Amino acid sequence: MSPISARGFAVASATAVTTVGAVVGVAQGNALHPVDDAQATGGSTLLADLPVGEQVEVQTASLSQQADVQANAADATAKKAAWETARKQAAKDAVAKQQAAEDKAKAEKAEKEAEEAKERAETKAATHTQSASGGSTFVQQGSYSTAEVQAIARQIVPGGQFQCFSNIVEHESGWNYKAVNPSSGAYGLVQAYPGSKMSSAGADWRTNPATQIKWGLNYMNERYGSPCGAWDYWQANSSY
């Protein structure tokens, strides 16, 4: 190997060459002949100047160093690839989760709309049957307590709509079937105006809460779709 090529190899593996060269130089100086201070501290050793055995050690050290560099680079590449894979999977999972939530919301909305449509159909059918009978099917009493009026309402108004119906009646009349608005003349549980409108449900509209309930239920269904539709409107306008 020429001195020029040996020097090039020494530059490529500077750490290994310098370390081994320094140790060998000191060892030779101690064992064979003295080494001056300049040689011990500031001199440089060419690979070609070393014995063959020591050249092998230097070359081995350089190759080991290169292998370490390559291993570290491979490890970094593997970690980057793993991170990128995890990032892509996380993005896919997020999209899938969002889609599942949207699908669930759509299904719940469709189910709710179907249930409301069913209740409206049942309510309209019940109201139609009651109207066709020409009035109340309940035995009329001389007077009714609030609890009795509410019990009648529960028999007429569909279960899923009763609370909304009850909220309106509570605000309009406090469940007093003889309530009269002194300024407008609105009458009864649902404060029909004029009260005579309720005659379409029965001639006993003044004294029979069942007749008033039937008329009120029919009115809410026809104008707002259901008692809950009427209640939504009432909350926004304090009337219906």
pLDDT at 153 over 50: yes
Question: What is the pLDDT, as a whole number, of residue 107?
Answer: 87
Confidence (pLDDT) at 238:
92
pLDDT at 176: 97
Tens of pLDDT, residue by residue over 20-73, are 444 444 434 444 444 444 444 445 556 566 676 666 677 777 788 888 888 888
CA distances from 129 to 141, 207, 229 (A): 22, 21, 22
Q: For residue 108, what pLDDT band results from cuts at 50, 70 and 90? A: confident
Work out the percent of the chain whose per-residue pLDDT is above 70: 68
- 166-199 pLDDT, tens per residue? 999 999 999 999 999 999 999 999 999 999 999 9
The tens digit of pLDDT for each residue in 210-222 reads: 999 999 999 999 9
Q: What is the 3-state secondary structure of 106-168?
A: HHHHHHHHHHHHHHHHHHHHHHHHHHHCCCCCCCCCCCCCHHHHHHHHHHHCCHHHHHHHHHH
In percent, how much of the chain has pLDDT > 90?
A: 41
pLDDT of residue 190: 98
Q: What is the pTM of this model?
A: 0.46
Looking at the predicted structure, is the pLDDT value of residue 134 above 80?
no
On average, the pLDDT of the chain sits at 78
Describe the chain by its helix, strand, coil percentages, rounded to 5. 75, 0, 25
The full set of domains in the chain, from first to last, is: 1-111 (no CATH), 133-237 (1.10.530)
Query: Which structure tokens are listed for 168?
Result: 């309106």
User: What average pLDDT does this structure show over 112-122?
Assistant: 72
Angle formed by the axes of helices 146-156 and 159-172, nearest 10° = 140
Q: Are 212 and 190 in contact (CB under 8 A)?
A: yes
Answer whether 156's CB lies under 8 Å from 217's CB.
yes
